[in-house]
Amino acid sequence: MSAEYWEGRGVYASRGAGGSFDMSAIRPTAVEVETSLRLVAPDATALPVRASLRYDPEDPYAVHVLFHAETAGGEPVSWSFARELLVTGLDEPAGIGDVRVWPWASPRGDFVALALSSPDGNALFEVPRSVLVRFLRRTYIAVPRGREGDHLDVDAAVTRLLAGR
């Protein structure tokens, strides 16, 4: 069977025998956006940082940000947090603890502030609001709000937990 992308639908379907689509094989596709964020230094200067925004329908409640500024060990830094946190943070302050998000207007345009905190330090990033809105729209095409539970594979999650991954 071959897989074909349904343009604008964010899903793949497998073509079965006789050329018909096997609707049971439809699965949403992952969403990934490459962008440039700005790391805001304590003196208010901002440094560009390449990053990937990722959403995987198999982990439907989470979004992942992969910072391509590599650590001393050569690995990119990855953060994961709730998709809903980003949605709320577009319009009002959201989050407590390690991840906080809020709207941030500046003379350069509309941004969303993303503050990350860990035992290794704190970082404040400016994310272009338009990039975040487009990314989130694509995630909701892949998995609509309120349908996240339909995409959870509890058996697979338990297996991963028991395997220590």
- Predicted local confidence at residue 5, as pLDDT: 34
Q: Give the lowest-confidence range in 8-12, 76-80, 120-124.
A: 8-12
Q: How far apart are the C-alpha atoms of 132 and 54, rounded to whole Å?
A: 11
- Predicted local confidence at residue 152, as pLDDT: 60
* Segment 101-148, tens digit of pLDDT: 999 988 888 999 999 999 988 999 999 999 999 999 998 888 877 655
CA distances for 134 relative to 68, 76, 86, 138, angstroms: 21, 24, 12, 6
Tell me, yes or no, if the pTM score tops 0.85.
Answer: no
Higher pLDDT, 96 or 11: 96
Q: How far apart are the C-alpha atoms of 122 and 71, rounded to whole Å?
A: 15
Q: State which amino acid sits at residue 30.
A: A
Contact partners, residue 1, CB within 8 Å, separation at least 6: 14, 15, 16, 22, 25
Query: Can you tell me the mean pLDDT for 24-50?
Result: 83
The torsion of the CA quartet 89, 154, 150, 86, rounded to 10 degrees, works out to 10
Task: Extract the runs of DSSP E, i.e. beta strands, from the chain.
Answer: 2-6, 11-15, 21-28, 31-40, 46-55, 62-67, 77-82, 99-106, 109-118, 121-128
As given in the structure block, the two tokens for residue 21 are 């689509």
Tally the C-alpha atoms within 13 A of residue 75's C-alpha that lie toward its C-beta. 4
Residue 73's pLDDT band (boundaries 50, 70, 90)?
A: low
* Segment 13-25, tens digit of pLDDT: 444 455 554 444 5
Higher pLDDT, 32 or 161: 32
Q: How far apart are the C-alpha atoms of 50 and 63, rounded to whole Å?
A: 17
Higher pLDDT, 155 or 10: 155
Domains detected in the chain? 31-145 (2.30.31.20)
- Predicted local confidence at residue 32, as pLDDT: 92
Rg (CA), the chain: 18
